[in-house]
Amino acid sequence: MHSLRERLLAQLLTAEGFVSGAEISQKLDISRGAVWKHIQALRREGFVITGSTRRGYRILSVPDLLLPSVILPVLTSDFGRPYYFYQTVSSTNDVVRELAYAGAPQGAVVAAEEQTGGRGRRGRSWYSPRGGLWFSLLLRPQVSPAQSQTLPLFVSLMVVKGIEKLLGITLDLKWPNDILLGGRKTGGVLVELGAEAEQVHYAVAGIGINVNVTSFPPELEKEATSLGIYAGRRVDRARLLAGILSSIETGYPCWCREGFAPFREAYKGRLSFLGRQITVRTAGGEVLTGIAADVDTDGRLLLSSPAGKQRWLHGGEVKVREGILI
């Protein structure tokens, strides 16, 4: 269901030039005065709209913010509805978890311009300044907790596909769910589950992409980059968010039905280190070195040692040897 504001914006955004107040009022079935009030509200949000009594209204620029009024008109999926926006929040994953408890539907999204307590995997903090894309998606998959282990891998693949489709660039993945550009970290996925032994109640898929972040703190400088730095221009975050949500939504029914198997080859095709010697710090803290040989349908990484020993790993942190640390 599109709100009046969304429909008004859609009309202005798709028009070639000016749209008259009379035309808007007729299409939306509201008075000319009500049209004017909506226009004023949009201007207060940062839309630059020129108006002339003779010709009507025309949008000159859209604010570079993830406001509902900016996102909803470009959204092509059901994922993203309902949509909640914050200027500053501690972590969008926390807000979505609260929404999940309160009974929010699958597809609900929370996005923020900045996070003060952004979280990464393995208890690390996640640098989340303005200019990035920090959001969380609520999913309610009717799958076993075992299958849900592959959700982070599936989501990271679909995020990569969404970015690639919009920007026409090629990204890599680092097992299990780091997103890389030219060997540097550009994004990550943090899935947090609400589950019991037999049943998943909800999953919060937290997605962080360095989009127009222009600088990083010293400890991240060498290993991080952003889409904007790589592309050499500002990237439209609203269209990126819409594209990523649509990409996840497209693959999601298949993942729910069939698990990771149908996505495994595409995922492996984007793994930057497959067939190379790597060092992995396992979830249990062990440090192992070997050849990254495969990823199976359960999302496990196969590490084989030169002596022919094989270990299937569930989670961990990969470092690639030969002097390159990714």
- The one among 21, 65, 83, 121 contacting ligand BTN by CB under 6 A: 121
Between 8 and 66, name the residue whose CB sits nearer to ligand BTN. 66
Tokens 């079935």 label which residue? 29
92 is a contact residue toward ligand BTN (CB under 6 A): yes
Instruction: Tell me how far, at minimum, the Cβ of 108 lies from ligand BTN, in Å.
Output: 14
Residue the block writes with tokens 């222009």:
214
What one-character-per-residue DSSP string does 47-98 give? -EEEEETTTEEEEEE--SS--HHHHGGG--SSTT-SEEEEEEES-HHHHHHH
Under a CB-based contact definition with an 8 Å cutoff, are residues 208 and 119 in contact?
no
Assess 115 for contact with ligand BTN (CB under 6 A).
yes
| Cα–Cα distance for residue pair 302/285, rounded to 1 Å | 17
Q: Which residue lies nearer to ligand BTN by CB, 43 or 124? A: 124
Rule CB under 6 A: choose which of 91, 147, 186, 225 binds ligand BTN: 91
Cβ–Cβ < 8 Å for 134, 111? yes
CA 303, distance to chain mean position in Å, is: 29
Per CB under 6 A, which region of 44-52, 187-195, 227-235, 260-268 contacts ligand BTN? 187-195
Confirm or reject binding of residue 184 to ligand BTN (CB under 6 A): no
* CB nearer to ligand BTN: pick between 59 and 112: 112
- Taken as a whole, the chain contains a residue count of 326
The reply on whether position 136 binds ligand BTN by CB under 6 A is yes
Among 51, 82, 120, 183, binds ligand BTN (CB under 6 A): 120
Rounded to the nearest whole angstrom, what is the least distance from the CB of residue 310 to ligand BTN in the complex?
A: 27
Residues 206-235 that bind ligand BTN (CB under 6 A): 206-208
Q: Which of 68/206 has CB closer to ligand BTN?
A: 206
How far is residue 56's CA from residue 23's CA, in Å, rounded to a whole number?
Answer: 9
Is 211 within 8 Å of 132 (Cβ atoms)?
yes
192: nearest Cα among 103, 259, 97: 97
The footprint of ligand BTN (CB under 6 A) covers: 91-93, 115, 118-121, 124, 126, 128, 134-136, 178, 188-190, 206-208
